[in-house]
Amino acid sequence: MRLSLLDRSRTRSGRPEGEGLTGSVDRAVRAEALGYDRFWVAEHHAVPGIASGAPAVLLAAVGAATSTIRIGSGGVMLPNHQPLVVAEQFLMLEALNPGRVDLGIGRSLGFTEPVRRALRHDVDAPDTFEADLLELGSLLDGSGPVTARPAAGSTISVSLLATGAGISIAARLGLPLVVGGPMVWTDDGAAALAAYRRDFRPGAFAAEPRVTISLDVLVADDDAAARELALPEVWAMARSRQTGEFPPLEPPESIRRQPWTDQVRRRVESALDRSVAGSPSAVRKTLEELADRTGADELMASSSTYDRDALFTSDALLRDLLP
């Protein structure tokens, strides 16, 4: 499998939120030196734990700091934008970083109802996602009703981040597919990926099906150390289910000192048991099994932890597992 990183510009308790962005740029530079294939960034709006709300802006900084690694979005949430605006942003990125730009498209809305209102989402509005995708494709390849600038021969690769019904959209429109979450481990998920490959229709986006799996992966010297690295992200997710707010990452020692309800403890322990966090040999075994199950062409690791140096070490160890 090809190996890439998805960095969500996680913020950290007690630190300026802007460090989430400079940390992403620093990680991209290191990922390029390690030989990763791609470096993607995220779009999340008004989330305390994530600094990146504008992928194109962050990618401009990442592109300026690197020279060879492909850069992209994981992803741009198309319902938040007009297709022309997305096309212009990524054509500009392509002009600045020729041959290196990917556009991952998603359809998730805001994290909370106030955010959805701020994004002007009308729950009764018709679903135009497929039509918007096709319009975006026509604007990128120059066949649209207007010419998005800068006009040139675009080499931008477009992918769809999807689960459920979105997988069939990717097959129908001929889009490379990015999937994550529990479905990559289940028989139903394997069947959905098989259906995607069977039903794929080559077109303007891609000539053949392509599957990328995205999941958190953390590697350390031993399983216990890796599990501790996974704790800050798992804790943040458990807290968000309690409070409705996804918080900044906290150091493990701070998390251990806080009171845990029985429900939170069950959620944290269960999530840690499901995480791909362990020694190099343990992680290699899990990834080999996952590759066999999914037939994936690429792994995109979306890992994060409080300690940035430990995260960089994990990235290096992971890179060594999949040369």
Single pTM value for the model: 0.95
pLDDT reported for residue 112: 79
How many alpha carbons fall within 13 Å on the CB side of residue 301?
A: 32
What is the homologous superfamily of the domain 2-219+277-321 according to CATH?
A: Luciferase-like domain (3.20.20.30)
The domain segmentation of the chain, as residue ranges, is 2-219+277-321
Are the CB atoms for 43 and 79 separated by under 8 Å?
no
Return contacts of 89-93, CB within 8 angstroms, 24+ apart: 89/56, 90/56, 90/140, 90/156, 91/140, 91/148, 91/149, 91/150, 91/151, 91/152, 91/154, 91/156, 92/56, 92/150, 93/56, 93/59, 93/60, 93/63
pLDDT, one tens digit per residue, over 243-301 is 888 999 999 999 999 999 999 999 999 999 989 999 999 999 999 999 999 999 999 99
Tens digit of each residue's pLDDT (9 = 90 or more) over 181-194: 888 989 999 999 99
Task: Work out the pLDDT band at 108, boundaries 50, 70, 90.
Answer: confident
Residue 188: exposure state from Cβ atoms within 10 A (0-12, 13-18, ≥19): exposed
